[in-house]
Structure 1
Amino acid sequence: MGMTRRTVLAALATAVAGASAGNPALDDLAYAETSSRNRLDVHLPEGKGPFPWLLDLHGGGFRTGDKRSLPVPPQLPAQGIAVVRMNYRLSNQALWPAQEGDVLAAVAFLNRRGPDLGLMPGRMALGGRSAGAFMAVSAALTLAARDRPPRAVVDFYGPMDFGSLDADLAKLGRRLRRTPADSPRSVESLLVGYPVGQRREQATPLSPVGRLRAMRPGTPLPPLMIRHGAQDGIVPAGQAERLRTAWAAVDPRAEIDFALLPHEGHGTGGFGRAAVQEALARFLARHLSG
């Protein structure tokens, strides 16, 4: 069930009253009524808003995870950027593209209610980690097709082409640490509702890389930041390479800030280090300002 108008107003009043304490937060705001998972948290920088914002999506193989697992890096509020963490329906609750629908509903809610929440409508970036990155990039492409793109997109170690995941894993020459994507039991197959390996012609076009290949060359795309672990044995770095290539093929003028972290695996500690978070903060500040 969603929050009542009285509850929402009370939460907003609490956030405004707490602004002087630094980093006030609005927790568990309902952005839609479809599921009890349709909740988000807003973390504001110190000072007087409204602020530009990053909508950040958690990972978990599309079947687990929670917004509270996402850190709020201090480098972002230090740059005057708010962080919004959201939950979405998991694949055991709804099949794709319900999850993208949740992201788009959250974007609409935040743009509509932005002034009340301390956020600047339209001054947003979409980002995520692993499965969350898949959703963030997918939603960004939908918004770009509607001529309402985010100002920036962030992909941290996300799968970007279900149809080629196993081929990219095979190139690593290692023992698999995960169920092959082609298997009916893979997190990718459970998300789309059919075995990826048996219906590759359907799975490939719904992934971001497949969607980019179907887009008209010259379509404007937002700036893109990609960080991926070179040692990732769950979502191989070839997925990041495929996204970079497909993004540049559609819009050669779009900025792509791409880096493989040489010693990192899937979501390992290096992604939280100051150098990575400072690079993220600079990237977002550059594209969310003005």
Structure 2
Amino acid sequence: MKYAPWIVILSLLAACSQVETTPTPTVTLVPTPTPTPIPTPTFDAAKLGSGELDVTYCSPDGRAQKLDIYYPSFGGPWPVLLYVHGGSWREGDKAEGEGWRGLNEQGILVASVNYRMAAEGKFPVMIEDVQCAVRYLRAHSADYNLDPNRMAAVGASAGGHLVALLGTADDTAVWNQSEYAEQSSRVQAVITMAGLFDFTVNLPSGINSAVYYAFGKLAGDGSPEMAAASPVTYVTADDPPFLILHGDRDGVVPVAQSKILHERLTAVGVPATLVIVQNGDHSLGGANATPTQAEINEMIAAFLAEIFE
């Protein structure tokens, strides 16, 4: 399922009715364990307001992985929103991230990342790449005029799974960190849409076949591998704030997945807001889906503004 972010994906949320929102206490910024000093920028001001495509961030197994960067036209050092595309861990492309460029107007740098697909390697290669992208951006914060202590991540479906791992597993999970290992892969906020967070429970056959292809195991099989792939396994009180969105008519990923994540986070005091999109399918759209586009736009913008203030 392809997700068109920000402008287009939020248009799918337009319609009316009511929204079930489960809030938690006021969002607060969760810093990296040791805040990274902000270096003197070496950024080329000619790039203001532009995009920089196909930047190699890491080369696992000698295969270059790329990301795109979209710069605000003013200010800096900027906070960062990292977009991680979905596609069942086997398809999708960073080009979708261009749709989030509207956030440049809020003074937020947008980066969109490609990562190895399941045909190139089973999990955890996907999260290894996404974590490496975060570490790369921190290591090159002067070059991109970004603030290494203000980084958020957003993803849908498989991308939602990966950004949730960024938020909960942070630097603790034992995955390959061969490049930029001196940098932290922690983020300060996470936005998930129709994500998967607990592979220790059974999933519908359609998505479970995608899980098997990407992980070599089936969700709910009781294996330690499935527990290790689950963001809920790593939840601790120092995790960053989460904004969790899911459609109540999602026929691909059960809405229970987002409810489980929300319950685990709030149980240990992590600020987390769960938004159930009424009549929303896996893309958060559908006939009479709500909240409206404007409401979702404002929700995401306000969430990031509070995190990045």
CA contact (8 A) 1:57 1:136 kept: yes
CA contact (8 A) 1:152 1:288 kept: no
Q: 1:256 aligns with which of 259, 264, 272?
A: 272
- 1:189 aligned to 2:215? no
Q: Distance in 1 between matches of 2:157 and 2:244?
A: 11
Which piece of structure 1 moves more, 30-39 or 95-104?
Answer: 30-39
Q: Equivalent residues in 2 for 1:14-25 (5 A)? A: 16-19=45-48, 23-25=49-51
What is aligned with 2:121? 94
Question: Structure 1 segments of 4 or more deviating over 6 A?
Answer: none
Q: Distance in 2 between matches of 1:274 and 1:128?
A: 20
Q: 1:160 aligns with which of 197, 209, 234?
A: 197
Provide the alpha-carbon RMSD of the alignment.
2.4
Matched AA of 1:283: F
CA contact (8 A) 1:144 1:220 kept: no
Q: 1:210 to 1:124 in 2, by over 3 A?
A: same
- 1:53 aligned to 2:65? no
Higher relative contact order (CA 8 A, sep 6+): 2
Percent identity of paired positions between Structure 1 and Structure 2: 29
Which piece of structure 1 moves more, 78-87 or 265-274?
Answer: 265-274
Q: Distance in 2 between matches of 1:116 and 1:281?
A: 26
What is aligned with 2:152? 125
Q: Equivalent residues in 2 for 1:34-49 (5 A)? A: 34=60, 36=63, 38-49=65-76
Q: Distance in 2 between matches of 1:160 and 1:120?
A: 28
What is aligned with 2:298? 278
Q: 1:122 to 1:256 in 2, by over 3 A?
A: same
Q: Distance in 2 between matches of 1:263 and 1:122?
A: 37
CA contact (8 A) 2:245 2:274 kept: yes
**TM-score, normalization by structure 1:** 0.79
- Ranges in structure 1 where 5+ consecutive residues have no aligned partner: 1-11, 170-177
Q: Distance in 2 between matches of 1:82 and 1:102?
A: 20
CA contact (8 A) 1:160 1:240 kept: yes
Which piece of structure 1 moves more, 57-66 or 194-203?
Answer: 194-203
What is aligned with 1:247? 265
- Ranges in structure 2 where 5+ consecutive residues have no aligned partner: 1-41, 174-183
Deviations 1:133-174 (A, max 9, x none): 1011112222264887321111111011123242xx5xxxxx
Q: 1:77 aligns with which of 97, 104, 114?
A: 104
Q: 1:197 to 1:225 in 2, by over 3 A?
A: closer
**TM-score, normalization by structure 2:** 0.75
What is aligned with 2:245? 227
CA contact (8 A) 1:95 1:192 kept: yes
What is aligned with 1:203? 226
CA contact (8 A) 2:66 2:114 kept: yes
Deviations 1:196-217 (A, max 9, x none): 45454531342112333xx5xx
Which piece of structure 1 moves more, 273-282 or 100-109?
Answer: 273-282
Which piece of structure 1 moves more, 275-284 or 193-202?
Answer: 193-202
CA contact (8 A) 1:152 1:224 kept: yes
Query: In proportion to residue count, which structure has more helix?
Result: 1
Count of aligned residue pairs for this structure pair:
253
Q: Distance in 2 between matches of 1:264 and 1:37?
A: 37
Q: Distance in 1 between matches of 2:227 and 2:153?
A: 22
Which piece of structure 1 moves more, 107-116 or 271-280?
Answer: 271-280
